[in-house]
Amino acid sequence: MIYVVIVFLWTAILLYILLGGADFGAGIIELLTSDKNKERTRKTMYKAIGPIWEANHMWLIIAVVILFVGFPKIYTTVSIYLHIPLVGMLLGIIARGTAFVFRNYDAVEDDMQKVYTPIFVYSSLITPFFLGIIAASAVSGRIDPQANDFLSAYVFSWLNWFSVAVGIFTVSICAFLATIFIIGQTTEKEDRNHFIRKARRIIFIVMFCGALVFLAAYFEQIPLIHWIFGDIPGLIAIIAASISLVLMFFVLERDKPILLRLLAGFQVTMILFAATYSHFPDILLLKDGANLSLLTHQGQAKTIETLGYALLIGSIFILPALVYLIYIFQKKTNVETDH
């Protein structure tokens, strides 16, 4: 049953990156859009993220609950030594959701809209940035359980070039996912061409940010190249992601939004797989050379068994409901477009 729980944990993280990433990316795209194109970009983005913006944090909650219940030592270590970026991410999630609701559903449009918009776009940038920092810090080997001062224990555990580079890379991934989602929601050829050009630019930005991650890992003496290219499965995953990227450039010119989204999701999946496969089942790499493993540091056997059954039963209700939610929003969008 432990492997069932681990699969759910990995899948929840992946779905949060894909769906939550597209959601956060909508605010990032708005931030990077010129004033004359902001309004039409905003309207198109709302159609794209409509089916997922309320539901995407469910995957983060599932991942947190799995860690809290099934892997208490890992959860405790992360929440103690990475509490600063965790608080930053959570504050960004709260601020973004609040600003989105008031900006779009406030009964009165007044000068407060000028306040909601900056909160929305900048929290959309900050939240994935801290998410990337947390992920990188978990494997950077900078968490020091033996630290005896505040900076060493709670700041230098995440404030390093590698973690910051991964944070920037995560932001670029979110912008990339958002542009791909938006392309499928455009109805005007001019708008579609506009977002295709934006997608191309962001793809090159993602590649540049990815190179920064490898450069930072080299200077921080983190064996990222070995993790990704040092085994056959990881190498195959990177090759598959690269091939799908080439295919994406051809699909961008054709009206195939579903295929485009599948290729984008496949790329991110392969990147996450390559980054996590080599040091599995270790999920936290600590400064003293010790590692916290999903297999060694799991909870009681009965707890894991109950958690596994709960996740299996819960997925029977959650997944069909999510698919139906996306279907309803898509159908509504198609009806509005026809009229």
Per the DSSP assignment, residues forming a β-bridge with 292 are 284
- Please state, in angstroms and rounded to a whole number, the distance separating the CA atoms of residues 107 and 280: 50
- Please state, in angstroms and rounded to a whole number, the distance separating the CA atoms of residues 264 and 173: 10
Q: Which two tokens stand for residue 72?
A: 């208490």
Mean per-residue pLDDT of the chain: 85
- Please state, in angstroms and rounded to a whole number, the distance separating the CA atoms of residues 129 and 111: 29
Q: What pLDDT does 200 receive?
A: 86
Q: What pLDDT does 150 receive?
A: 92
Confidence label for 194 from pLDDT (cuts 50, 70 and 90): confident
Q: What is the mean pLDDT of residues 135-144?
A: 91
- The residue whose two tokens read 């432990």 is 2
More reliable by pLDDT, 172 or 337: 172
Q: What angle do the packed helices 232-251 and 189-219 form, to 10 degrees?
A: 150
pLDDT tens for each residue of 101-124: 777 666 566 667 778 888 888 998
- The residue whose two tokens read 């940010």 is 209
Residues contacting residue 89 through CB under 8 Å, at least 6 positions apart: 126, 127, 130, 131, 134
CB 19 within 8 Å of CB 178: no
Q: What pLDDT does 47 receive?
A: 64
Instruction: Of 80, 164, 139, 167, give the one whose Cα is nearest residue 286.
Output: 139
Report if pTM > 0.85: yes
Q: Is the pLDDT of residue 223 over 80?
A: yes
Residue % of the chain over a pLDDT of 70: 88
Q: Is the pLDDT of residue 203 over 70?
A: yes
Q: What pLDDT does 228 receive?
A: 87
Q: Which two tokens stand for residue 202?
A: 């962001």
pLDDT tens for each residue of 241-259: 989 888 888 888 777 778 8
Q: What is the mean pLDDT of residues 67-93?
A: 93
Residue 72 preceded by cis peptide, ω within 30: no
pLDDT tens for each residue of 295-308: 989 989 899 999 99
Confidence label for 52 from pLDDT (cuts 50, 70 and 90): low
Instruction: Of 212, 242, 216, 246, give the one whose Cα is nearest residue 229.
Output: 242
Distance of CA 170 to CAs 16, 159, 175, Å? Answer: 12, 16, 9
- The residue whose two tokens read 């040092």 is 230
Q: What is the mean pLDDT of residues 135-160?
A: 91
- What string of H, E and C letters represents the secondary structure of the chain? CHHHHHHHHHHHHHHHHHHHHHHHHHHHHHHCCCHHHHHHHHHHHHHHHCCCCCCCHHHHHHHHHHHHHHCHHHHHHHHHHCHHHHHHHHHHHHHHHHHHHHHHHCCCCCCCHHHHHHHHHHHHHHHHHHHHHHHHHHHCCCECCCCCCHHHHHCCCCCCHHHHHHHHHHHHHHHHHHHHHHHCCCCCHHHHHHHHHHHHHHHHHHHHHHHHHHHHHHHCCCCHHHHHHCCHHHHHHHHHHHHHHHHHHHHCCCCCHHHHHHHHHHHHHHHHHHHHHCCCCEEEEECCCCEEECCCCCCCHHHHHHHHHHHHHHHHHHHHHHHHHHHHHHHHHHHHHHC
CB 176 within 8 Å of CB 202: yes
